[in-house]
Every structure is written in structure tokens, then in C-alpha cells.
């Protein structure tokens, strides 16, 4: 069974993303549910996937409220369409929109395809989380343990701080005061000539 690995970026901040693995025979409804779980959103609103071009132009829609696929329907059913059915090229892109009122928009890109499943992993699976997820309602509190993890990840050690950074004003104060005295003396000498 092919395992598809997608990177799901939040449209507002491409440094906030989730890497998700899903089996090719699982549906877009399964994909929708794991995205909600990965970004800590509730499942109270409808959502749509759109096929996309490299320039993030919306294409054919898959909607969570469509129950069956009909030949001339404006949207396909998430629950009836396997993920692999719409993946035709490496780097395939999709746009995911959750909650038609708030329009939470995510860009999705296929980053790899593997043949082997990881033993004891239940798919779909959130492989990696990067950045703090946006708050679906109001202000989002950050778990103190998660905050420490984020702080440690981006904390600069002594070695990094030594590179290109020094104490403010190192060595400048002595040279500035000695130059000022020289400038004043030079001005006095110039005035004595007149």
C-alpha cells in the first residue's frame, strides 16, 4: 500500500505546518479529520479540498457535505474519494478550506510517496508539527510544556551568541572620549592662530 506524505501549511504563515502520512486508499474525509486533529480545530464546520496548480489556483472541489460522487456534480464527496485518486504527479498541490465563514485556508503539497508502511503506525498519522497552530476561536493558550519545548528548540547557546554578537559598546567608549579630547585640542590650536 502506498503511503503519501503531505505537508500542510497554514496560508498565513508558511513556517507553521504539519507533515501528515496517509494511505493512498484512505479518503479525503480521513485526511480532513487528521488535519483538524493536527491543528487542534473542532469538527463543527464543513470543509473543502481543491485540486491546485503550482500557483495555488483553485481547481476541482471535494466537499465534506457531498455524500455521493455524481458525474456532473460541482463537487466530489470527501467520504467516497480515495486520496490516491487525485494524486497524479510528484509535488501535487491542494488547497484545504475549513469553515466557510472564517475561511481557514491551508496549502497542501505532496512531499513524498513510499511503498512501505511503518510497523505499528495507525494511518493517517501526524509525522511532524512545526510552529504554533492558529487559534480557531479567540486567543490560544500555549501549553507550558510545549512553550518550553519551543523555547529550547530556538534558544541560542553560548557558541551561537559569540558569533557576531558582543556586549554593547565594547571598546568604543575609550576611543570615543580620547578622540573628543583631540578634537577639542585641535580646535583650540586653530583658534590661537587667528
Please tell me the distance from the alpha carbon of residue 57 to that of residue 50, in angstroms, as a whole number: 9
Q: Taking 60 as the threshold, does the pLDDT of residue 36 lie above it?
A: yes
- Residues in the chain, how many? 194
CATH number of the domain located at residue range(s) 3-134 in this protein: 3.10.290.30
Query: How many angstroms separate the Cα of 34 from the Cα of each of 18, 24, 39, 171?
Result: 10, 14, 9, 56
Q: Angle CA(127)–CA(135)–CA(29) in degrees, nearest 5?
A: 50
- Per domain, the residue ranges of the chain are 3-134
Q: Taking 50 as the threshold, does the pLDDT of residue 11 lie above it?
A: yes
Closest to 47 measured CA to CA, from 58, 36, 60: 36
Taking the whole predicted model, whether its pTM rises above 0.85 is answered as no
96-147 pLDDT, tens digit per residue, is 999 989 999 999 999 999 988 888 899 999 999 999 888 888 755 556 666 6
Query: What is the DSSP annotation of 27-39?
Result: BHHHHHHHHHHHT
- The percentage of the chain sitting over the pLDDT mark of 70, rounded to a whole number, equals 69
Whether the Cβ atoms of residue 4 and residue 84 lie closer than 8 Å to each other: yes
Please tell me the distance from the alpha carbon of residue 188 to that of residue 20, in angstroms, as a whole number: 75
- DSSP element (H, E) containing 94: strand 93-98
Judge residue 80's burial from the number of C-beta atoms within 10 Å of its C-beta, 0-12 exposed, 13-18 middle, 19 or more buried.
middle
Q: Which three cell numbers stand for residue 179?
A: 578622540
Whether the Cβ atoms of residue 100 and residue 46 lie closer than 8 Å to each other: yes
Query: How many angstroms separate the Cα of 25 from the Cα of each of 14, 40, 79, 85?
Result: 28, 24, 11, 8
Amino acid at each position: 500500500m502506498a503511503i503519501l506524505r503531505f505537508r500542510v501549511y497554514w496560508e498565513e504563515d508558511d513556517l507553521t505546518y504539519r507533515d501528515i502520512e496517509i494511505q493512498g486508499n484512505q479518503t479525503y474525509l480521513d485526511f480532513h479529520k487528521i488535519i483538524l486533529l493536527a491543528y487542534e480545530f473542532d469538527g463543527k464546520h464543513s470543509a473543502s479540498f481543491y485540486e491546485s496548480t503550482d500557483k495555488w489556483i483553485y481547481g476541482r472541489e471535494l466537499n465534506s457535505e457531498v455524500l455521493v460522487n455524481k458525474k456532473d456534480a460541482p463537487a466530489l464527496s470527501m467520504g467516497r474519494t480515495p486520496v490516491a485518486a487525485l494524486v497524479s504527479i510528484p509535488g501535487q498541490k491542494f488547497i484545504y478550506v475549513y469553515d466557510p465563514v472564517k475561511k481557514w485556508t491551508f496549502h497542501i503539497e505532496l512531499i513524498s510517496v513510499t511503498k512501505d508502511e511503518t510497523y505499528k503506525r495507525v494511518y493517517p498519522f501526524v509525522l511532524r508539527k512545526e510552529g504554533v497552530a492558529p487559534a480557531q476561536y479567540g486567543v490560544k493558550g500555549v501549553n507550558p510544556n510545549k512553550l518550553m519545548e519551543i523555547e529550547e528548540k530556538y534558544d541560542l547557546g553560548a557558541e551561537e551568541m559569540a558569533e557576531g554578537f558582543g556586549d554593547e559598546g565594547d571598546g568604543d567608549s575609550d576611543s570615543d572620549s580620547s578622540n573628543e579630547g583631540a578634537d577639542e585640542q585641535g580646535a583650540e590650536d586653530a583658534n590661537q592662530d587667528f
